[in-house]
Amino acid sequence: MVLPKQIVINHPSHLPSKSLKVVGTDVEHQVLLRRIHQNISVPSCFAASTNQVVVDKDPVIGMPNNIKNIYQSRNFAQIEKVESQIHADFAPIVQNITTNPKSCWVVVQSENGVQSVLTWDMEGSYFYSYPLSITPAFNNQNNTDPNAKYIALVQFGMYSASTKCVFTHQYRIGLNTLVTGIAMASIVANTVGSFITSNYSYRVDQFAQRMNNYASGQGLPFNLYTPQDAEGALVAAIDFAMYPCTGRFTNVPAIVQAFNWDNVAWQFTIQALKQANYPGIEQDPSKINNNLIKCGSGTSFLPYYVQKPDIQVGYAVFLYDGKSVGVFGVGLQSIKNKDYTKGFTYAFKSTREQTLSGNVVDPLSLLNDPKTVFTKNAVSTVGGGVPISVGIDPNTEKLTNIIININKSDAQAKL
């Protein structure tokens, strides 16, 4: 009889770098943080004032060249294998977060004293929350929080050992008093971890609420919120963290993955939903504001213990389901480098048909125009002087899985 392989989580000998050492579990560290924060002079207005939590750096995937080639060629059979590998890598870690939410995170420290919050397995895969900086608000050129005196930047990432892919994004949190960087990393780790296990059933405003709850456990009276115009980017970040962990066929009948291989940034600015749901946003799901950084830009700083990828690509994932039984449709508008005169518009139906325009047009009009020609074949165009190509996976009827490649001409895609 072959016994099942024993899964070991968070053993010190399996840390991603020999220069890291375990300081203690996150729960143990929170006891220390509460003592530290008791000694912080917290102004009386701190608890009453509201501050913002927003996405500071949008999702980026780092990958080796062999996986880059798979996505650029839209080789859907190989894409499914890669994503299944990533899901298998992350499954034991996600299971530990699910069953041990209060003890799954561990505080580690490098030789130079920099601390992170990690959870890892015996095979080399791990999730991390890394405190980048806490600086005066006037020094942060991207700050949108009028009440903030300080700005904390925290990067959350996930590394898949078998594929050597790393998934990163970054949060910007407004503060009214100085706190420790590791406290912010802990709050972000616990918050994102709680969404990873939520199976796409959430509201975007719950993100700030959960951050407030985790901060309260450290003795910090946070009152965070996300402005409505920043909710789309936050949903994109939450879904980005969930998708590699949850699997491909769980309550998500339609997935759009977009990769920016261009040398400038692109933005998805608006979407049109026809009998479709975009989980997460309830008030105005049409405003998405997803930014795809330029390829290989290096704007996603990685902690030293993360294996550096061959290439980093700006990425967005959109997850949809239908409001009722029947056909639903989605339209997406994308612009080049914030220029509304250059871009493309894409639309698809749950009948696995699609269309693509090389112009920036109203996506709902594209969906509704009786002259719009929908096809099941791969489509391509030039938008903003850049080749755009899109294809739907023909290998499965269970999932409308779509890949958009920006600036990768692949008429010979291996379908």
101 plus 213 within the same structural domain: yes
182 plus 120 within the same structural domain: yes
198 plus 262 within the same structural domain: no
CATH of the domain at 353: 2.60.270
290 plus 156 within the same structural domain: no
- Is 42 within a domain? yes
184 plus 279 within the same structural domain: no
228 plus 109 within the same structural domain: yes
- Is 413 within a domain? no
Which residues are CB-neighbours of 239 under 8 A, at least 6 positions away? 200, 280, 317, 318, 319
197 plus 317 within the same structural domain: no
- Is 292 within a domain? yes
Question: Over the Cα atoms of the chain, what is R_g?
Answer: 21
Looking at 243, 258, 293, the residue that finishes a domain is 243
94 plus 150 within the same structural domain: yes
Its domain, for residue 273, covers 249-406
- Is 3 within a domain? no
Cα diameter, the chain:
67
Looking at 243, 258, 279, the residue that finishes a domain is 243
168 plus 122 within the same structural domain: yes
Angle at 265 between CA 262 and CA 270, to 5 degrees: 115
- Is 325 within a domain? yes
Distances (CA, A) of 195 to 102, 203, 204, 211: 14, 10, 10, 11
Which pLDDT tens digits describe the chain residue by residue (415 residues)? Answer: 444 567 899 999 999 999 999 998 888 877 777 777 676 545 544 455 699 999 999 999 999 999 999 999 999 999 999 999 999 999 999 999 999 988 899 999 999 899 999 999 999 999 999 999 999 999 999 999 999 999 999 999 999 999 999 999 999 999 998 888 999 999 999 999 999 988 778 999 999 999 999 998 888 889 999 999 999 999 999 999 999 998 665 567 899 999 999 999 999 999 999 999 898 887 788 888 889 999 885 556 799 999 999 999 999 999 998 877 778 999 999 999 999 999 999 999 999 999 999 999 999 999 999 999 999 999 999 999 999 999 999 987 778 899 999 998 543 333 3
- Is 10 within a domain? no
200 plus 285 within the same structural domain: no
Kindly report the backbone phi and psi dihedral angles of residue 122, in degrees, each rounded to the nearest multiple of 5, phi listed first.
Answer: -80, -10
How many separate domains does the chain show? 2
232 plus 267 within the same structural domain: no
- Is 9 within a domain? no
Looking at 243, 258, 282, the residue that finishes a domain is 243
Put simply, whether the predicted model's pTM sits higher than 0.85 gets the answer: yes
237 plus 294 within the same structural domain: no
Distances (CA, A) of 34 to 113, 161, 215, 224, 379: 20, 35, 10, 19, 56
- Is 173 within a domain? yes
